[in-house]
Structure 1
Amino acid sequence: MPGKDDNARKAHIDNMNALLADYFALYVKTKNFHWHVAGPQFHDLHLLFDTHAQELFALTDIIAERVRKNGAKTLTSLGAIKDRARIADEDRADLSAQAMIRQLRDDNVKLIKGIRSAKDSAGQVGDNATDGMSDDWTDEAEQRVWFLSQLLEG
């Protein structure tokens, strides 16, 4: 029978792999919107979405390596990502710019919850590196939420 520490470690790995899946899902959605945004804000949103996508993608390798450094396997396929992601797909290419902004803002809020969950589980198992890095990940996601929220004002 697994001990409490084994259960905590498994929960932490599950949190980290779900977070990794969320990052990949949000990256793909952000790139979709980068490619398909239209309207008066096209230039600015095209560039903003690309910047956000780059930030998201940059963390996928770091998160996956944290899983491996914790002695576990990480996601291996698109199917594994889809099965674990809490960020919903968006297949439409004809959304308004405002609808895209709203979805990305809301998805980044979901991402923050996932980061905080991973931070909590990291603390429980003594994964100090993930615990510390997650503060930066949270700050980056909060900045994206702030930028996107400001675009919805007025």
Structure 2
Amino acid sequence: MQPNIGITEENRSAVANELNKILADEFVLYTKTKNAHWNIEGPDFHTIHIFFESQFEQLDDIVDSVAERIRSLGHYTPATLQLFLQLTHLTEASRSNNSSTALIRELLADHESIIIHLRENINRFANEYHDAGTSDFITGLMETHEKMAWFLRSHLK
């Protein structure tokens, strides 16, 4: 049964397609953060290992909430690594080195890229697709990524 929530199927479909891309970005960033947690090396290993753990736990919650938003609009989520890699605008980990500085810089760049992408869609979801709920939802995601980026950026000073 299709949701009857005051948004046309065409608009729900368009929003779900954009959310699928956001979900892919979030999942790729989650994976890269998990990779950083597992592979960090250096004198600050323990501190940064724990820091990355807190970040990937936040991202795990984000991944779940984006998937649930897609489902609440009456659509299915992509759920394979292959689909995520096709949909994301991020790249897989570069593996330049496993120092905290290198890993933090790469993760920070991804957070900032996601922030820009989310910001570009806030008004689009509300005005073009008449979906204030998803607009509000991604505003919250953007704010979460801004805080996570701030935490990462603070390690680089």
TM-score, normalized by the shorter chain, greater than 0.5? yes
Instruction: Pick from 52, 59, 62 the counterpart of residue 59 of structure 1.
Output: 62
TM-score, normalisation: structure 1: 0.86
Which structure has the highest helix share of the two?
A: 1
- 2:43 maps to amino acid: P
The answer to whether the 8 Å contact 2:11/2:130 transfers is no
Instruction: Pick from 21, 29, 32 the counterpart of residue 29 of structure 1.
Output: 32
SS at match of 2:62: helix
Match of 1:83 in 2: 86
CA distance in 1: counterparts of 2:140 and 2:44, whole angstroms: 29
Q: CA deviation at 1:10?
A: 4.1
The answer to whether the 8 Å contact 1:19/1:118 transfers is no
Match of 2:137 in 1: 133
- Structure 1: unaligned runs, 5 residues or longer: none
The answer to whether the 8 Å contact 2:21/2:88 transfers is yes
The answer to whether the 8 Å contact 1:33/1:93 transfers is no
Instruction: Pick from 125, 143, 148 the counterpart of residue 144 of structure 1.
Output: 148
CA distance in 2: counterparts of 1:144 and 1:59, whole angstroms: 12
CA distance in 1: counterparts of 2:94 and 2:106, whole angstroms: 13
Instruction: Pick from 43, 48, 51 the counterpart of residue 48 of structure 1.
Output: 51
Q: CA deviation at 1:112?
A: 0.8
CA distance in 2: counterparts of 1:44 and 1:86, whole angstroms: 30
Larger mean CA deviation between 76-85 and 110-119 belongs to 110-119
TM-score, normalisation: structure 2: 0.85
- 1:27 maps to amino acid: Y
CA distance in 2: counterparts of 1:132 and 1:112, whole angstroms: 14
Aligned length: 149
CA distance in 2: counterparts of 1:52 and 1:25, whole angstroms: 13
CA distance in 2: counterparts of 1:146 and 1:61, whole angstroms: 23
Q: CA deviation at 1:116?
A: 2.1
CA distance in 2: counterparts of 1:40 and 1:120, whole angstroms: 44
CA distance in 2: counterparts of 1:146 and 1:111, whole angstroms: 14
